[in-house]
Amino acid sequence: MAETRITPSLLLLGLIVSATAANSMIFFAGAETRIMYSELIIIASASIAAFLGILLAYRQILHNRSHSKAYICLAIGLVLWLCADIIWASYELIFHVAAPIPSLSDILWLAGYPFFAYNLIATYRLFHNRFNNNGVLLASIIGNVIFVAYLISLTIGLSDFSSQGSVSMFAVLIAYPIMNALLTIPALSILIGLWKERPWSIPWTFKSLSLFCIVITDSWFAFIIISGLYEQVWLSSMFFGAEYLIMASGLLWFNKFLASYKNQGTASVTNTSQDHLKITDGFRNRNKTPNRTQYLQVLVAAILIGGILSYGFLTSLATESTRYIVPVEGQNPILIGALLPLTGTSSSTGEEAEASLRLAVEDVNNQFAKTGLSTRVGLIIEDTKTDPAVALEKLKDLASKGIRLVIGPSTSAAVAAVKEYADENDILIVSSSSTAPSLAIPNDNVIRFVPDDTHQAEILAKQMWDEGKRVVIPIWRTDVFGNNLQSALKESFESLGGKMLDGVGYDPPVGNFAASLHRINFIVWEQELRSLTSKVNDAVKQYGADKVGVYIVAYDEIVPILIQANRHQELQSVSWYGSDGSAQLEGLIKNVEAAEFAVKTNFLNPIYGLDATDSFNKLETRIVEEIGRVPTSYAQVTYDEFWVAALTLKDVSALQQDDIGSLREAFINTANSYVGVTGRTELNDAGDRKFGSYDFWAVRPVYEDLKNKASFEWTNVAAYPIGIDNS
């Protein structure tokens, strides 16, 4: 049987290597794929643990062991948790919606705890006469009570209890640490009691480490809230995956041990303990691993771990956020840069812009080929991660490649961050969705194919006034985009006789977490919404709900904000208004709670609008085929930007490209004479689009059957041309 012998050191090294391999996939994954890898690794690890648990229970029943019920319960608990993990992954990977509270996953996870508890209590009763560690048991109880009390007090301070949904969230959040404590107390006593009793201590060491990982995972939100490192919430997935791998290692040892232990078991604790001593003696005599073999195992493990980490690091570098679209034929290649928010709080804008640019590259090169031109155009796309600092770094990278014309960035905050560098280094910035009025500066190197937000603010202020609103309370991201738009609306609304009260400004979050549907994110937004609720209540008491409106300036983070707002009855009593940053977001209509809130509050969102010509509709259809949803108008604007950029660079010499004055003049002349899928692209003195209109988009229910089960869709409810008096 030597070929099947598993030593403790070999089992430990195997666990370290497998955990390193699994978690390195998560650690080195890009932000856009990290959730997918996390969920798949967790499911795979949970499947292995559940299989070994079922196998162990089967063998216990087969050998008619007296404590087989304990292992049957362990197997049931692992199967319940596996099912919960699969359902949770479907929320995140398939449906892309926030799980309800409590969700079916919560029910299954919590249902698994009694089975684990039975396994632990049965084991404790079996061996407790050998422990003699009442002090350990008492210390474990006191420590767990203090820790759980702290988590409960922290959660109470962050929670709102004004709605059933908020109470449910609080109950679910505290249920996990309470259940963990109930498992940890007996587990710690068993571990210490059996520590010197090998081979029994081996699986219990793994079991206890597994429970420790569970405690960290379920309590990770406390660290996130206290530290403010919201983007690091994904680290809990690594502990979650490790939890199952550690549990599987312990179960593997149980199965290996039972393979050589054919005793039928005993009915009494005393006899079981005597059998245990015999097994322990045999184990000590048989498993003296030579030092040379141990050293070899460590060396192999070190090589494997080093290789895994090196491969992960090199792969992460190779999959850096740079994407190349290079022409396959032709001469005189022209390269254009693009700075897009492919991840982060404006990733929906980046996704549709990338699809539009890929189509534009194809169409431009096809047109050049048809007309006999040898020139071809390529594209280098950089991900700004919706982070202004990253946008500046990526622009410097593009400049080092000799690129002097860049499409993007998409957000005003990112444009503001790169503007000085672009002006000083003769780079032309062409943005399709930056609208901050403070960036409307004549003769600079920033050109925008959309009007600035003074027009959006004027039209929205008039819409609010016409709907009877006399008081508006803002909640906005305090970056260039949010500050400018909030100030512009305040000026326009108060010029009509209205009043904008002091609102709630929030630090603009960066990264994927801000727009994620993780429950910790709902706790984060609860603080802003609690303040907003107080202000809305005061305004409604003074002016009446029909005269009060809430104005929100946000990007993709609007989805978790509205999901959480739906749990505040007071916020549903007034009308809500948004901006182009939240118009037509697919995630909003996918999440029922957010969509229901938008319907209840008649959530209106203005965005730069375009005439639906044949060419516009055809391009929209092609973009939908690429991304699976209807894009905003900014996607078609990006398409026209690339055409104007390509036509400009085709006609200017290399010498003119190096002269920013000549390049800017040539680009503006081309734009002023070009008519694309978005119509005329003529620019004003500040380099912003001169003509256009604004559409108002609202969420409306679409009833699917006679039971009034509804899905939701964005509907264009009004259009206002720029510069036309609509009174």
| 5 in a structural domain | no
Are 391 and 457 in a shared domain? no
Please give the single-letter amino acid code of residue 424. Answer: E
Q: 440 and 545 in one domain?
A: no
The answer to whether residue 569 is domain-embedded is: yes
Q: What is the pLDDT of residues 295-330, one digit of tens each?
A: 555 566 566 566 655 655 555 554 456 677 766 565
Region 172-193: mean pLDDT is: 86
389 and 256 fall within a common domain: no
**3-class DSSP assignment, residue 701:** strand
The model's pLDDT over 701-720, given as tens digits with 9 standing for 90+, comes to: 987 655 666 789 999 998 88
What pLDDT score was predicted for residue 2?
Answer: 43
Same domain assignment for residues 83 and 206 = yes
Three-class SS state of 698? strand
Q: What is the pLDDT of residue 276?
A: 46
Q: How many H helices and E strands in the chain?
A: 23, 16
| 687 located within any domain | yes
Backbone angles phi, psi at 612, to 5 degrees: -85, 75
Q: Check residue 473 and give its pLDDT.
A: 98
**Residue 16 in contact with residue 28, Cβ under 8 Å?**
no
The average confidence (pLDDT) of the chain is 84
Which residue range forms the structural domain that includes residue 178?
31-288
Residue 313: inside a domain, yes or no? no
Q: Are residues 432 and 386 in the same domain?
A: yes
The reply to whether 4 falls in a domain is no
With CA atoms as reference, report the closest residue to 652 among 669, 636, 629: 669
* Position 199 confidence tier, pLDDT thresholds 50, 70, 90: low
For residue range 200-216, list pLDDT tens digits in order: 677 777 877 787 788 78
1: pLDDT strictly greater than 80: no
Same domain, 338 and 361: yes
Q: How far apart are CA 616 and CA 630, in angstroms?
A: 12
Model's pTM, two decimal places? Answer: 0.84
What's the pLDDT at 655? 52
Q: What pLDDT does 274 receive? A: 45
Count of the separate structural domains present in the chain: 3
Would you state the pLDDT for residue 298?
59
Of 405, 413, 360, 350, the closest CA to residue 382 belongs to 350
**In sequence order, which residues have a C-beta less than 8 Å from that of residue 665 and are 6 or more positions away?**
none
45 within domain boundaries: yes
With H, G, I as helix, E, B as strand and everything else as coil, classify residue 604: strand
DSSP class per residue in 307-344: HHHHHHHHHHHHT-SEEEE--SS-EEEEEEEEEE--SS
DSSP string over 529-590 = HHHHHHHHHHHHHHH-GGGEEEEEE-STTHHHHHHHHTT-GGGGGSEEE--TTTTT-HHHHH
Give yes or no for residue 474 having a pLDDT over 80: yes
* Confidence at residue 296, expressed as pLDDT on a 0 to 100 scale: 58
**150 and 58 share one domain:** yes
667 and 701 share a domain?
Answer: no
What pLDDT, on a 0 to 100 scale, did the predictor assign at position 266?
A: 37
Co-location of 432 and 544 in the same domain: no
Judgement on whether residues 656 and 702 belong to the same structural domain of the protein: no
DSSP secondary structure code for residue 145 in this structure: H
341 and 462 share one domain: no
Burial class (CB in 10 A: 0-12, 13-18, 19+), 297: middle
Check residue 231 and give its pLDDT.
75
| CATH code for the domain in which residue 494 is found | 3.40.50.2300
509, 573: one domain: yes
Is residue 596 classed as helix, strand or coil in its secondary structure?
Answer: helix
Q: 620 in a domain, yes or no? A: no
